[in-house]
Amino acid sequence: MDKLPWIILSAGDNVAVATAAIAPGSTVAGIETLEKIDPGHKVAIADIPLGAAVVKYGQAIGRTTADVKAGNHVHSHNLHFENDRLAATANSAPEMATGEDKARTFMGYRRADGRAATRNYIGIIASVNCSTTVCRAIADEANRTILPHYEGIDGFVPIVHDQGCGMSSTGDGMNVLHRTLAGYTRHVNFGGVLMIGLGCEVNQLTLYGQSGAGASKRHFNIQDAGGSRRAVERAMGMLREIAADVGKEKRVPMSIGEIIIGLQCGGSDGFSGITANPALGVAADLLAAAGGTAILSETSEIYGAEHLLRSRAVSDEVANKLDEKIAWWEDYVALHGASLDNNPSPGNKRGGLTTILEKSLGAVAKGGRSPLTAVYGYAERVTAPGLVFMDTPGYDPVSATGQVAGGANMIAFTTGRGSCFGCRPAPSLKLSSNSALYASMEEDMDIDCGTIATGDATISGKGREIFELIVDTASGKKTKSELFGYGDNEFVPWHLGATL
């Protein structure tokens, strides 16, 4: 039997999604199409009057701005955002995890404080923009002269940014920057850290102490070292000592319940919410069932679907914390004269997504169906197991930076348009939502989830494939982004507050 070039995602939907190009005059769910429907785009399968709700995933994604006939293309020209919700449907059960799933192990590094690492890097962290060039020079020299002597070290990573001075020493801006940098200095995938300041900046090194003092945690200022070149020379002596300690680490078996994975999506398309995101949700459910942690984020991209997460909260306290984050974002964008519906990018819309509600319903699918156990602020240390939520912007580098600062020792990133990303020290898996993308960018994509849309794979089956790759990657298998060298430029702390 020929495979249908369309899919209806829920019994209550009044639109279908094209999984391949559909010509005018084709039949979709018994309806004759009136115009061409591109892959990932929506076609009405019933008449939808002016002002009526367009329903996808069993949820309202907006209201029509004109009468829509069955067979019409439904997109930005006849559908707009409206801040309403349909009632949440009953939550279905998470993906069933077997006893064997729960007993799985991976090969990781056991740190002195008991935490589990998936990589063994040494970080060169800038406290301020003024020390970024020196940090890069230190990392380059260390990778050239020290790394070849230590097979057990994955590399020296420069963590640099554009903040740290010209800002208030108090308030949201400094608090977020400090929390983010502190999270990286203690990140489990860094076996050692050298933090470099200039000396006169607002973000002083003394704010960080020794971040878990020991032979593998050091810092100094460029001004105290006598300048840039002398700072590099001084750093080499320190890093040789750190490497001698860190290079002794060996991988040992440990429970997959110690994996903390950040869930990301970027460059989404009309397939993201029906292939890659729900498949990643299955993997997240399996990990959560084994005692692991999955961090869902991007608050501006769950807007419109937050009621679905709220209904899964384990307590009123957790639900209320999520409500508080949503309310803050509504006030924040209003203050700047913007709307949360501005979030879908031009690329998202070309791929078939129309409103933030539609994008959010697909984005939430990354979190699977497990209970929501905790809600965290940006870059706060994540300690709860299961599915948790971290408040971050939708901008992928900023969001992932917060997740890693919070303790994520892996990232899984879905994309429909072709986002390229790495997030050292955490390895980043890339999951394509459609097979055309995978074929054109195979060197960047780790898994093709487009086979779900073609009927060659199921969401459950693909989710288990992702789960297996998560375990293998945690054990040391290199991701495509690692092989290319991504991860040095994607550290982007959330910039809040005034520049002075």
Rounded Cα distance between 83 and 95, Å, is 31
Q: What is the pLDDT of residues 121-174, one digit of tens each?
A: 999 999 999 999 999 999 999 999 999 999 999 999 999 999 999 988 889 999
34 versus 7: the higher-pLDDT residue is 34
Provide the token pair at 154.
């994955």
pLDDT digits (tens, 9 = 90+) for 313-339: 999 999 999 999 999 999 988 888 877
**Helical packing angle, 172-185 and 396-405, nearest 10°:** 60
* Tokens representing residue 409 in the block: 């020792």
For residue 12, the model assigns a pLDDT of: 81
pLDDT at residue 3 greater than cutoff 80: no
Taking residues 261-267, report their average pLDDT: 95
Lowest mean pLDDT among 232-236, 290-294, 331-335: 331-335
Roughly what angle, to the nearest 10 degrees, separates helices 459-474 and 276-289? Answer: 60
Q: Which of 442, 463, 425 is nearest to 108 (CA)?
A: 425
What is the chain's alpha carbon radius of gyration, rounded to the nearest angstrom?
24
The predicted pLDDT at position 207 comes to: 84
* Averaged pLDDT score across all residues of the chain: 92
Q: Is the pLDDT of residue 416 over 90?
A: yes
Q: How confident is the model at residue 57 (pLDDT cuts 50, 70, 90)?
A: confident
Q: Residue 358 has what pLDDT? A: 81
Q: Is the pLDDT of residue 212 over 50?
A: no
pLDDT of residue 85 exceeding 80, the answer is no
- The DSSP result for 63-91, as a single string, is EESS-B-TT-EESTTTEE--S--PPPPPP
Q: What number is the average pLDDT over the span 69-95?
A: 77
Residue 106 has pLDDT above 50, yes or no: yes
For residue range 471-500, list pLDDT tens digits in order: 999 999 999 999 999 998 899 999 988 777
Tell me the C-alpha distance between 429 and 154, whole Å: 17
Average pLDDT, stretch 70-77? 95
Of 14-18, 170-174, 355-359, 390-394, which gets the smallest average pLDDT? 355-359
Instruction: For 118-142, give the DSSP string.
Output: S--EEEEEESSGGGHHHHHHHHHHH
Average pLDDT for residues 427-452, to the nearest whole number? 96
pLDDT at 1: 40
Share above pLDDT 90 across residues of the chain, in percent, rounded to a whole number: 74
Residue closest to 61 by CA, chosen among 46, 40, 42 = 42
Residue with tokens 């960018």: 441
* Structure confidence by residue, pLDDT tens digits, 188-209: 999 999 999 999 999 999 888 7
Domains and CATH numbers, the chain: 6-80 (2.30.130.110), 121-248 (3.40.1400), 254-484 (no CATH)
Query: Is 340 a residue whose pLDDT tops 90?
Result: no
